[in-house]
Amino acid sequence: MGRRLVPLTLDNLSDLPRRCRSCVFWELDPVSGEAAVKAGTPELEKEAWISAVLLEWGSCGRVVYVDEVPVGFVLYAPPAYAPRSLAFPTSPVSVDAVQLITGWIDPGYQGQGLGRVIVQTVAKDILRRGFKAIEAFGQVHWQEPACVLPADHLTAVGFKTVRPHPTYPRLRLELRNTLSWKEDVELALDRLLGAVQKEPVLRPL
């Protein structure tokens, strides 16, 4: 299988699941988000958000392709670009961290190590930008794909809880720890470029 991770842009935004293209849960504060839904403009707001982040900060996501079919994505940015995060009981995200906003992998491609590869690729990108960590809000009682990532899947790929909560803990991945992943990251990228060696089965992101 040919696998690749491509930066998210307005050109490939259409490769995200439709419900995610029209979701502005993180991109707007609760009041503005509700107003956008009522006005029927969430897709336009999503495009405007991605455009603004690309212009001001740079790449804010990756789309995962397997044999040229989009099978997953991840969004990440400094917390200032995710105003909804301030509504969480375990906010704010640390100033030295980038927020892992959300992500998704097609159920048919879960359990193949893609979640770990995504996190490693994001970590490598953020390291180049001078940040010290990735943080995310996890959901403890996660049952189905939603805007908030499952807490146990985050811990499975290396995150540690920095502010506990019965429902929405805040978790952190120290990027200095990823330095020991260097060989793993390079190997993962090699596999994404089309190597045939089978990846270990890991929990999906």
Q: What is the mean pLDDT of residues 25-35?
A: 94
Q: What is the pLDDT of residue 2?
A: 81
Instruction: Give the mean pLDDT of 175-194.
Output: 53
> For residue 125, how far is the Cα from the chain centroid?
12
Do 155 and 119 meet the contact criterion of CB atoms below 8 Å apart? no
Residue 139 has pLDDT above 60, yes or no: yes
Residue 37 contacts residue 26 (beta carbons within 8 Å): no
Query: pLDDT at position 145, please?
Result: 75
Is 133 within 8 Å of 97 (Cβ atoms)? yes
Q: How far apart are CA 196 and CA 4, in angstroms?
A: 13
Dihedral pair phi/psi, residue 39, rounded to 5°: -80, -10
**Separation CA 127–CA 134 (nearest Å):** 10
pLDDT for 34 equals 94
Q: Give mean pLDDT, residues 155-180.
A: 86
Task: Report the SS3 class of residue 166.
Answer: coil
pLDDT tops 90 at residue 10: yes
List the structure tokens of 114.
Answer: 């893609």
Return the structure tokens found at 151: 């807490």
Rounded to an integer, the average pLDDT of 179-191 is 50
- Say which residue, 35 or 186, is predicted with more confidence: 35
Q: Kindly report the pTM of this predicted structure.
A: 0.83
DSSP 104-120: EE-GGGTTSSHHHHHHH
Gyration radius of the chain over CA positions = 16
Please list the residues that pair with 40 across neighbouring strands.
none
Task: Using a pLDDT cut of 90, give the percent of the chain over it.
Answer: 61
Give the integer Cα–Cα distance in Å for 50 and 53: 5
Note whether 15 and 50 are within 8 A (CB).
no
